[in-house]
């Protein structure tokens, strides 16, 4: 429902490094509201956010907006659009202390036909993903096990799962996305949509398996319900069905900004039941990786993996299962992603969380970018004990010059014999590209 090239629809996902497939299932979204002393209606007002690609600046209150989403008539319709560009702001805030109150007490994602898992299914590999704009807002979730004739939940599979900020994965976008918040209330301003100033944020997600929701093999599953985190996690089924009994004064600044995406996801591998908490930091010209190894001490082996922006991972180093730190000496300019691949003794392959570092520290510097005859390469941060190569390519990818210079912190290259045009110079060491930049030969 976004309408231009900036649209991002959720069709698959990557959870702790394991490819997943989204299963298309007919879905109904129902929003349950309850009036309270501050707001005497059950749904006239709702707000949603949409991606913005124009002025005003985040600090401005007026200006011209170019919005990558149309007006949304109802929250229920928007919630099943599977469009990562739009979502709903602070869906469980319901007091007049916050301008986005909507008295939302429960959101039901209903699969009216239901589905049943068979004996070959792994309940820990199948489940739902909740995406949060801004990332990491706590909430509660329960699986729907029965529907009544009106297609409303009539029974839940317990327990209620409490999701905390620490349960979410990393940012899903490479950069923060600009957005605006729309407020819509048919009782005011003729029902027109009124936007806020532009802001920016990222998106995070959390995978909730059928096993965590208490479902068993062969049980019919009809979807799930979302609740504010102040709905008690030890609630009975009767309490969950009676949304009028929920707290009606929820007012936290850290509430779920729900991305319009719903579906059933199946993954080829399970995630670690006791996660390895991988952390990465840049120190000087190296990446220091640390993790708690309690989850892998009984594993067969573990491999540290790295990926660039293409998110294609390769093996960096097999580590000892008793090891809890590693220093990657080959820091790259830009973003590098890291994860641990764990091989368990029963044959399962599982993954840690993903960490990334973004470095603008270049191990080599090339200048000038426009030249008649000379190029200069500063290699003082390379390993002087290891050989390196310098290659020059035309824009068709053809090698036109190559060098195997002696170890030095400063290299002079004469390129006066090159034809006029654009070229790419590549510095590599130990089969790794250290830097690749364009320059123009006049």
How many separate helices (H) and strands (E) can be counted in the chain? 2, 32
**What's the Cα-to-Cα distance from 185 to each of 29, 42, 99, 193, 392, rounded to whole Å?**
20, 12, 12, 8, 61
What DSSP string describes 43-80? SS-EEEEEEB-SSSPTT-S-----BSS---S-HHHHHT
How far apart CA 64 and CA 71 sit, in angstroms, is: 16
pLDDT at 61: 61
**What's the Cα-to-Cα distance from 43 to each of 38, 105, 132, 257, rounded to whole Å?**
13, 11, 22, 17
Torsion of CA 389, 357, 304, 437, to 10 degrees: -20
Asked whether the beta carbons of 127 and 210 are under 8 A apart, the reply is yes
Which helix (H) or strand (E) is 237 found in, with range? helix 237-241
pLDDT at 5: 42
How far apart CA 70 and CA 331 sit, in angstroms, is: 43
Asked whether the beta carbons of 208 and 131 are under 8 A apart, the reply is no
Which SS3 state, helix, strand or coil, does residue 347 take? coil
pLDDT, one tens digit for every residue, the chain (442 residues)? 333 445 555 555 555 555 566 666 778 999 998 887 777 777 777 888 888 777 666 666 666 766 666 667 788 888 887 777 788 988 888 776 666 667 889 999 999 888 888 776 778 888 898 999 887 899 999 999 999 999 999 999 999 999 988 888 888 877 788 888 887 777 776 777 777 777 888 888 888 989 899 999 888 899 999 999 989 989 999 999 998 888 888 877 678 999 988 877 777 655 444 456 688 887 766 788 988 777 677 788 889 988 876 667 788 889 888 888 998 876 666 778 888 888 888 777 777 777 778 766 555 677 787 888 888 887 766 666 677 888 888 877 788 988 887 766 678 888 988 988 888 888 877 666 667 677 888 8
How far apart CA 355 and CA 339 sit, in angstroms, is: 7
Asked whether the beta carbons of 206 and 170 are under 8 A apart, the reply is no
Which SS3 state, helix, strand or coil, does residue 299 take? coil
Q: Which residue has the tokens 């949603």?
A: 48
> CB within 8 A of 253, min separation 6: which ones?
none
> CB within 8 A of 250, min separation 6: which ones?
92, 93, 94, 95, 228, 230
Strands in 10-163 per DSSP E: 12-15, 18-23, 28-33, 46-51, 83-88, 104-116, 126-133, 139-147, 153-163
pLDDT at 166: 82
Q: Residue 76 phi/psi, 5° resolution?
A: -60, -40
Asked whether the beta carbons of 247 and 167 are under 8 A apart, the reply is no
**Whether the predicted model's global pTM rises above the 0.85 cut:** no
pLDDT at 4: 42
Q: Residue 224 phi/psi, 5° resolution?
A: -155, 160
Q: How many CB atoms sit inside 10 A of residue 437's CB?
A: 16
pLDDT at 272: 47
**64-69 long-range contacts, Cβ below 8 Å, gap at least 24?**
65/180, 65/195, 65/198, 67/180, 67/195, 68/2, 68/3, 68/4, 68/6, 68/7, 69/1, 69/2, 69/3
Residue 404 DSSP one-character state: -
Torsion of CA 420, 424, 425, 427, to 10 degrees: -170
Is the peptide bond preceding residue 56 cis, with omega within 30 degrees of 0? yes
């Amino acid at each position: 429902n976004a309408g231009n090239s900036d649209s991002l629809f959720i069709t698959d996902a990557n959870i702790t490094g394991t490819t997943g497939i989204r299963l298309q299932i007919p879905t109904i979204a129902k929003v349950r509201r309850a009036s309270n002393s501050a707001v005497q209606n059950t749904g006239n007002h709702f707000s949603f956010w949409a991606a913005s690609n124009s002025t005003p600046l985040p600090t401005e209150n007026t200006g011209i907006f170019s919005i990558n989403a149309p007006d949304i008539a109802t929250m229920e319709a928007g919630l099943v659009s599977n469009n990562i560009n739009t979502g709903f702001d602070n869906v469980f805030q319901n007091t007049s202390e916050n301008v986005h109150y909507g008295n939302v007490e429960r959101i039901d994602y209903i699969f009216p036909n239901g589905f049943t898992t068979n004996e070959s299914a792994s309940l820990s590999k199948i489940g739902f993903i909740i995406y949060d704009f801004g990332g990491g807002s706590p909430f509660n979730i329960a699986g729907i096990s029965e529907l009544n004739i009106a297609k409303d939940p009539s029974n839940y599979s317990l327990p209620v799962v409490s999701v905390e900020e620490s349960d979410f994965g990393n940012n899903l976008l490479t950069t923060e996305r600009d957005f605006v918040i729309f407020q819509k209330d048919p009782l005011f301003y003729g029902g027109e949509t009124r936007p806020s100033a532009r802001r920016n944020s990222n998106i995070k997600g959390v995978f909730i398996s059928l096993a965590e929701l208490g479902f068993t093999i062969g049980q019919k599953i009809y979807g799930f319900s979302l609740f504010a985190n102040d709905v008690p996690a030890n609630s009975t089924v009767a309490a969950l069905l009676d949304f009028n009994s929920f707290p009606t004064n929820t007012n936290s600044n850290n509430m779920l900004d729900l991305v319009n995406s719903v579906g059933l996801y199946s993954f080829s591998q399970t995630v670690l039941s006791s996660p390895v908490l991988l952390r990465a930091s840049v120190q000087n010209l190296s990446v220091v990786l640390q993790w708690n190894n309690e989850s892998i001490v009984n594993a067969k082996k573990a491999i540290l993996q790295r990926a660039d922006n293409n998110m294609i991972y390769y093996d960096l180093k097999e580590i000892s299962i008793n090891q809890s730190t590693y220093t990657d000496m080959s820091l790259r300019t830009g973003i590098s992603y890291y994860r641990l691949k764990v091989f368990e003794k029963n044959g399962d392959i599982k993954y840690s969380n993903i960490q990334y570092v973004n470095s603008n520290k270049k191990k080599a510097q090339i200048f000038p970018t426009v030249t008649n005859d000379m190029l200069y390469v500063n290699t003082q941060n390379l390993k002087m004990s290891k050989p390196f190569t310098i290659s020059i390519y035309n824009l068709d990818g053809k090698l036109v010059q190559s060098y195997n210079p002696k170890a030095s912190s400063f290299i002079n290259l004469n390129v006066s014999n090159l034809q006029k045009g654009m070229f790419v110079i590549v510095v590599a060491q130990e089969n790794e590209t250290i830097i690749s930049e364009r320059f123009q030969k006049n």
